[in-house]
Structure 1
Amino acid sequence: MFVRNGTSELKRVLTCPPTYLKEAAPINEISKKYADQPLDREKLADEFNQLIAAYHEAGVEVEQQTAAPEMTNAVFARDFGGCVKEGYILGRFKKELRFPERKAYEDKMKELGIPKIAEVKEGYFEGGDFAFLTEKDIAVGIIDRTNQKGFEELKEQLSRLGYNVYPVPADPRYLHLDMCFNLVDDHLAVAYKEGLPASFLKLLEKLEVEIIPVPEEAIFKHGCNLESLGAHRVLSLKQNKVVNKALREHGMKVIELDITETLKAGGGPHCMTFPLQRG
């Protein structure tokens, strides 16, 4: 079994160092603000090492993709696809900048012995839009990087395996679903509720998912870009003071990362992590 759901104990992940992330390519609302500013190489490396150290401390095995000059944004490993208990889904990037990552990550997954059980070939689908709600219920954002065609391809293939796949359209400025919604524990999520469709909010209510609300501006400061470790533990950003306080009040152990430079390229801890095994 590979990834059973989104909140059970995280055991193994795939990451990629930000070796060639030199400046924030203006491909999303956050990175546009920093496109003319070179990123601090030392700080990027330190932030990545913080993430890896946090995983090791939590008992999570870390695999690494080899960085390459043509894969500037490969540090955001989440985006090449998704992973379920049967194997992984190979997505399809929308931005040309990220095209070289697809083959590299496909080769890496083959090397790791994880079978490809689905693939998006015609539409677009990126892993930041993939979210387990329960073991059999999966939400897929149709926001900026995943389109209707990609969603339909994904739904058709996952439905054969018994999964219920739900579309979650939202404002393209939010980039990915994990920027405005994130399940952090069983029946507990962090989200900008007003930016999510009523049908999705009703589904969450039906599934008894409680939402810790964040304001819209938190989306652009990675207030929802958290990574569940299972056993009521979550990785968050040190700057997420209000969210972290609320998480602790809900019984969560919050592990804070002092990441600020990597965020300028448009992604946080969730974006930097591709789960390989949860159970």
Structure 2
Amino acid sequence: MDNTPWGCDSDYGVLRDVALRSPEHFGWFGANAVAKETLRKGITFDAKLAADQHAAFVAAFEDAGVRVHMVDPDPALRYHVYTRDPAIVTPWGVLIGQMQREQRRGEVAPTVRFHQKTGIPIWNWVTAGSLEGGDVHLLRPGVAAIGMSGNRTTKEGAEQAKAWFEAEGWECRIVPIAEHFLHLDLLISMVTESLALVCTDVVEPEIVNWLAELGIKAVPTTYADAMRLAGNCLSLGDDRVISSAEAETANAQLRSLGIKVYDPALTMFTLAGGGPRCLSQPLRRESVKAG
């Protein structure tokens, strides 16, 4: 039995446990700017392909030695396959968010039940505005960033969560983003303690400089990468990530830097607005807190 306690103090510590959800009820609808563009182009959803791609995604975790926990399915929650968004697991327990989209608000209930069943305590619960997990980044122990589009994550929700992090002694910075980027993790994804995929076409220089001051080098991605989820990856720790086959340029850059890249094809999910980070909620990472 792993003695590592539940919780995450970074986005890059060695991942031990992750929450995923079966795509059996998944289907496309105009939930966001990326999905709307996919539907406008007349691209057809393929449920069998989605199931096969998700199975390969699960297999990548298993190959990397990560325990996979499946959230109970609910046919009313078509987008809950993106387990990242309803909650964020912190060093103190789970922060339950508030979903902005009407079609996704019900995801909070099975998320709470899952964490209660798993034994992960609820640390806090957003009650002001909305806040979604794709906007919350644990850049390193003691430093967090919260993306704020004013839509998926509102000023009120971001400021409430920021105050909770600061009460625990963390630095927390709110990063404004345009609404069509959905979440901050289309623009920034941690890879290792010192590397992150960063959409330098879009992310303000002051944020890139702030990351550099934290010792985080930007591996650049483009606006086009962001809109096809090609900058959205999940760190597994120990210089490993799960990306997607569609992120060819980013994957090549990471491999040139010595990163092991798992890259299952995930088109049925990236075309709907979510990549590997969106599809996964880390539950337990090895602590990287100094001392």
Extract structure 1 runs of 4+ deviating beyond 4 A.
Answer: none
Count of aligned pairs:
278
On the 8 A contact 1:71/1:98 being kept in 2, the answer is yes
Q: Which residue of 1 aligns with 2:152?
A: 145
1:83 is paired with a residue whose SS is strand
Q: CA deviation at 1:37?
A: 5.3
> Which of 73, 84, 88 is residue 79 of structure 2 equivalent to?
73
Q: Which residue of 2 aligns with 1:58?
A: 64
Q: CA deviation at 1:137?
A: 0.4
What's the CA shift string for 1:61-104, capped at 9, x where partnerless?
01111111111100000000211112110000000000111111
Q: Which residue of 1 aligns with 2:133?
A: 127
Superposition pairs of residues 86-97 of structure 1, within 5 angstroms: 86-97=92-103
Q: Which residue of 2 aligns with 1:163?
A: 170
1:247 is paired with a residue whose SS is helix
Q: Which residue of 1 aligns with 2:17?
A: 12
Q: CA deviation at 1:160?
A: 1.6
On the 8 A contact 1:139/1:166 being kept in 2, the answer is yes
> Which of 282, 285, 289 is residue 275 of structure 1 equivalent to?
282
Aligned pair 1:251/2:258, yes or no?
Answer: yes
On the 8 A contact 2:92/2:123 being kept in 1, the answer is yes
Using the alignment, how far apart are the partners of 2:110 and 2:138 within structure 1? Answer: 25
Using the alignment, how far apart are the partners of 2:45 and 2:22 within structure 1? Answer: 14
TM-score (norm 2): 0.92
Using the alignment, how far apart are the partners of 1:75 and 1:104 within structure 2? Answer: 12
Tell me the amino acid that sits aligned with residue 13 of structure 1.
Answer: V
Using the alignment, how far apart are the partners of 2:251 and 2:44 within structure 1? Answer: 30
Using the alignment, how far apart are the partners of 1:126 and 1:245 within structure 2? Answer: 30
Aligned pair 1:48/2:54, yes or no?
Answer: yes
Instruction: Point out where structure 2 has 5 or more consecutive residues left out of the alignment.
Output: 287-291
TM-score (norm 1): 0.96
On the 8 A contact 1:94/1:145 being kept in 2, the answer is yes
> Which of 105, 108, 118 is residue 124 of structure 2 equivalent to?
118
Q: CA deviation at 1:198?
A: 3.4
Using the alignment, how far apart are the partners of 1:207 and 1:262 within structure 2? Answer: 32
On the 8 A contact 1:31/1:264 being kept in 2, the answer is yes
Q: Which residue of 1 aligns with 2:289?
A: none
Tell me the amino acid that sits aligned with residue 165 of structure 1.
Answer: C
What's the CA shift string for 1:102-160, capped at 9, x where partnerless?
11101111111101111111211000001111111011100241111001110111222
Tell me the amino acid that sits aligned with residue 10 of structure 2.
Answer: N
Q: CA deviation at 1:34?
A: 3.0
Aligned pair 1:21/2:26, yes or no?
Answer: yes
What's the CA shift string for 1:215-274, capped at 9, x where partnerless?
101011111110100000011111222111110111111111111112221101110100
Q: Which residue of 2 aligns with 1:104?
A: 110
Using the alignment, how far apart are the partners of 2:204 and 2:218 within structure 1? Answer: 14
> Comparing 223-232 with 193-202, which one deviates more in the overlay?
193-202
Using the alignment, how far apart are the partners of 1:38 and 1:244 within structure 2? Answer: 26
2:84 is paired with a residue whose SS is helix
Using the alignment, how far apart are the partners of 2:65 and 2:59 within structure 1? Answer: 10
Using the alignment, how far apart are the partners of 1:92 and 1:99 within structure 2? Answer: 7
Over the matched positions of the two proteins, sequence identity in percent amounts to: 27
Instruction: Point out where structure 1 has 5 or more consecutive residues left out of the alignment.
Output: none
Q: CA deviation at 1:26?
A: 0.8
Aligned pair 1:179/2:186, yes or no?
Answer: yes
Using the alignment, how far apart are the partners of 1:205 and 1:243 within structure 2? Answer: 19
Tell me the amino acid that sits aligned with residue 183 of structure 1.
Answer: M
On the 8 A contact 1:169/1:197 being kept in 2, the answer is no
Tell me the amino acid that sits aligned with residue 26 of structure 2.
Answer: L
Tell me the amino acid that sits aligned with residue 139 of structure 1.
Answer: A
